[in-house]
Structure 1
Amino acid sequence: MLVRIVKMSFAPENIETFLNNFEENKMKIRAFEGCKFLELYRGKDNTNQFFTYSYWQNEQALENYRNSELFKAVWAKTKVLFNEKPEAWSVNKEWSSEK
């Protein structure tokens, strides 16, 4: 299983726009073939920072999403809101306490 972690930072005036876009699209992303899990986190001390954690069946499933019209539409609305360059990591899940 591939885990994708994306760190994003927004100007305070853009946070509501980001959250509305995420709300509008989160179930579409989660329903995308190969997506097994999706969560959004917000920084405790820096509330302008957000992190998405998504679990993908494999790297090809993530690439299919990244090349999809859904991703292109969501990303086009998101990237204009950043106040810092986003960071992303793809990692393999080595262990989990989930049952």
Structure 2
Amino acid sequence: LLEAGADVNAVEGEYGTALQAACYLGSKSGVHLLLDYGAHVNMPACGNYGNASQAAVEGGNESVVQLLLNRGADVNARGGRYETALQAAANSGKKSLVQL
């Protein structure tokens, strides 16, 4: 789909963007691919998860969270169900996500 010209930053539905969906589902290879095709790591708040970082935290995948941080994710971005990734991490009960 990306090679055929699909909009990598299209916004729609529960996940908001394809990047947020890949982050929530913990698809590190999918996240890499979408970022390589120009997905915005700091896309403005959209969908239930607000942003890619919050979606990754809610999905519980630390390696995806770290990948987003390495790619410049804004840890203070607001929006979504928990407003920030830190609040989502605190809600998860996973100390490692809060520390990350």
Normalising to structure 2: TM-score of the pair?
Answer: 0.26
The higher relative CO (CA closer than 8 Å, separation ≥ 6) is in 1
Normalising to structure 1: TM-score of the pair?
Answer: 0.26
* Greater share of residues in strand: 1
* Greater share of residues in helix: 2
